[in-house]
Amino acid sequence: MLKGIYKNGDLIFRCLDESNAKCLLIDCVKRSLPCWADVSFLNDFKEISEEALLQELNVSFPAINELSQAQLKVMHLRFASISPCLAKVVNENERRLMMYRASLDYEVSIQTIRHRLCDYLVFQNIVVLAPVPRKVKELSEDEKNFRWALNKYFYNSKKLSLRQAFKFLVRDKYMDSDGKIMQNCPKFHQFRYFYYKNRSESNYIISRLGRGEYDRNYRPLLGDGVREYFHQLDMGCLILQPPIFIWLMMMVNL
């Protein structure tokens, strides 16, 4: 049996199955869908271990007992979405059909199902499907000053402009005792970029116009508040109306 991982230069393939002098290969570097090739294709390749594959691809996975409950839940859900595809991986047409059904059942794109399937087939490890915790980026000193100035001068009832808030920022944080602007003073466009990158529409309205104004005119209507104005439609009426309308128009023409 040829099942294993094979390397030749920059090319790395995993053999998933073998039948009638052909082998089912998946490209471990590109992580594309597996395809059938002649067994002779692997003649110049050298078999490598699972550990060597991880080193070649510069990938590492945590132990499954190190994952949080939330990560485990998502991991098993993702595996469930590709499990029907794994059963049909050797048949391209059936595999494509299973991927399409999985995308409908789990409400994700076919590309997402394909990525999950390829990742699992390459590494043969369910942990590859676990979500990676997002790293919280630490704010720089300037970004901390930007946030301070926005909270102090911009998000309030005085309704100062961004330019005015920036001037107060420079005065409070980037002026020496002689009243001269320091060399490390940021530019206004940096301050503006930070604002638009982290802008919250609801925070903007509440801080400058007040909570009452937000609740009256800007708060999204959800749940029972919407149902008071938009009742459930009678689908039977929607179905009957067009034929009735056509019949009435015919009677008028007669």
205 located within any domain? no
For the chain, the C-alpha Rg in angstroms (whole number) is: 30
One domain for residues 186 and 165? yes
Give the phi and the psi of residue 246 in degrees, each rounded to 5: -65, -40
73 located within any domain? yes
Among residues 57, 79, 102, the one where a domain terminates is 57
Domain that holds residue 11: 4-57
Return the structure tokens found at 171. Answer: 């005065």
206 located within any domain? no
87 located within any domain? yes
User: Per-residue pLDDT for the chain (254 aa), expressed as one digit of tens each?
Assistant: 568 899 999 999 999 998 888 999 999 999 999 999 999 998 999 999 999 999 999 998 888 899 999 999 999 999 999 999 998 999 999 999 999 999 999 999 999 999 999 999 999 999 999 998 777 778 899 999 999 999 999 998 888 999 999 999 999 999 988 889 999 999 999 999 999 998 888 888 888 888 888 888 777 655 555 455 444 444 444 444 455 545 555 554 54
32 located within any domain? yes
195 located within any domain? yes
Sheet containing 11-19: give its strands across.
Answer: 35-38, 22-27, 11-19, 4-8, 46-48
User: At 116, which helix (H) or strand (E)?
Assistant: helix 110-123
* Total domain count, the chain: 4
Q: In sequence order, what are the residues at sequence separation of 6 or more whose Cβ sits closer than 8 angstroms to the Cβ of residue 189?
A: none
One domain for residues 113 and 161? no
